[in-house]
Amino acid sequence: QKEVEQDPGPLSVPEGAIVSLNCTYSNSAFQYFMWYRQYSRKGPELLMYTYSSGNKEDGRFTAQVDKSSKYISLFIRDSQPSDSATYLCAMMGGSQGNLIFGKGTKLSVKP
């Protein structure tokens, strides 16, 4: 089993939809959880960062961490065509001192 699992999609939604992106993980020592957004032919950019369990909101974006289920989510409200990108989850903690990335989910928001 991979340490971090992420459905690669692609996921296509109409403009204005609520998008839910998810990752599962196996290492219970992970404490730091991040979401990166990567536009086509660009480098990943940090979108959201959370520590341990709970929710974090930033504008239209909400990140959730459920450590008991080893499951993290990113919600995008009122999705826009400019949100079309690949979203990568990443996490670290415990003896794993480096970030472990999911494979990314490709999202397309249609006008």
Partner 1 sequence: NAGVTQTPKFQVLKTGQSMTLQCAQDMNHNSMYWYRQDPGMGLRLIYYSASEGTTDKGEVPNGYNVSRLNKREFSLRLESAAPSQTSVYFCASSEGNRGYQETQYFGPGTRLLVL
DSSP 3-state assignment of 83? helix
| Among 100, 85, 91, 102, CA closest to 10 | 85
Residues in contact with partner 1, counted by CB under 8 A, come to a total of 22
DSSP helix/strand/coil, 108: strand
Q: Is 59 helix (H, G, I), strand (E, B) or coil?
A: coil
**45/66 with CB nearer partner 1:** 45
Among 50, 101, 109, 110, binds partner 1 (CB under 8 A): 101
Instruction: Please name every residue paired with 49 in a beta bridge, in sequence order, or none if there are none.
Output: 34
DSSP 8-class letter at 81? G
What 8-state DSSP symbol labels residue 58? Answer: E
Interacting residue with partner 1 among 83, 104, 107, 109 (CB under 8 A): 104
Question: Cβ of residue 87: shortest distance to partner 1, in angstroms?
Answer: 12
Among 1, 68, 82, 98, binds partner 1 (CB under 8 A): 98
Q: Which residues bind partner 1 (CB under 8 A)?
A: 6, 8, 32, 34, 36, 41-46, 49, 51, 88, 92, 97-99, 101-104
